[in-house]
Amino acid sequence: MGAKIIPFPMRGDVSVSDDERDGVLIGADEMIAKGGRDLLAQLLKGIHSEIVLAAEGEKLKSFGSLAELNLAQIESKIDKLLEDDLLRVEHYLGRTLLVHSPAGWERTKVLLAGRVYASLEQRASAGDAKGLYGELGRIHREVKLLVLTRVEETADARFAPMLESWRERETKPVKRRIGEVLERLRCASPSSSPR
């Protein structure tokens, strides 16, 4: 009986769906400055390997997000994003790290803003501002500004208590933007219109 041959995807015919691309970009963002291609592939597959455990990858939201694919398929999709210049490899202090390209970051920050907005909307519906800054504090400023623009576009006054809570511990530029959004929400509120 011969050895089982595992087919690897051909480099030329690798297709990446929008969901797979976005999943790889979000996974890469969660492990920026922690490792390279192998770590990202194992993280997305959901493997409890030494490098994943050392990077505490099992605690990340993207852990196992592409578990339905085999490791070779995930690696080929990462390679495709590298080829398409959505991700790049950089060498830093003898380590190989994956980073976003400018185009990759543009897509990633929109994805992250969508996730943060969904969480903020859920909190606003529940009236739960507890621990909000703990959730938002470490998020990149560009993502925060996209979230604030989206909140402003909704003109939904339910966001006001969330924004008040968020503003308390923010940096000056983000605080100022939160103030602008709060002002617009107050102006758009039916209770603030003249009778």
Q: Could you give the CA distance from residue 58 to residue 120 in angstroms, rounded to a whole number?
A: 25
| Residues 116/139, Cβ–Cβ less than 8 Å | yes
Rounded to 10 degrees, the C-alpha dihedral 81/87/90/96 comes to -60
- CATH 3.30.9.10 given to domain 15-100: no
Token couple for 102: 């400018």
- pLDDT values of the chain reduced to their tens digit, one per residue, 195 residues: 455 545 454 455 689 999 999 999 999 999 988 899 999 999 999 999 999 999 999 999 999 999 999 999 999 999 999 999 999 999 988 888 999 999 999 999 999 999 999 999 999 999 998 988 888 988 999 999 999 999 999 999 999 999 999 999 899 999 999 999 999 998 876 654 444
Note the pTM of the prediction, 2 decimals: 0.83
Q: What pLDDT, on a 0 to 100 scale, did the predictor assign at position 12? A: 54
- pLDDT at residue number 86: 97
Helix axes 160-167, 102-126, angle to 10 degrees: 120
Q: Where in the sequence of the chain do the CATH 1.10.10.10 domains occur? A: 15-100
* Residue the block writes with tokens 């576009």: 153
Structure confidence at residue 33 (pLDDT): 81
The per-residue pLDDT for 192 is 47
Cα 48 from chain centroid (whole Å): 22
Please check whether residue 53 is in contact with residue 99, taking contact to mean a CB–CB distance below 8 angstroms.
no
Task: Reduce the secondary structure of the chain to three states and give it as a string.
Answer: CCCCCCCCCCHHHCCCCHHHHHHHHHHHHHCCCCCCHHHHHHHHHCCCCHHHHHCCHHHCCCCCCCCCCCHHHHHHHHHHHHHCCCEEEEEECCEEEEEECHHHHHHHHHHHHHHHHHHHHHHHHHCCCCCHHHHHCCCCHHHHHHHHHHHHHHCCHHHHHHHHHHHCCCCHHHHHHHHHHHHHHHHHCHHHCCC
Please give the structure tokens belonging to residue 112. Answer: 């992250």
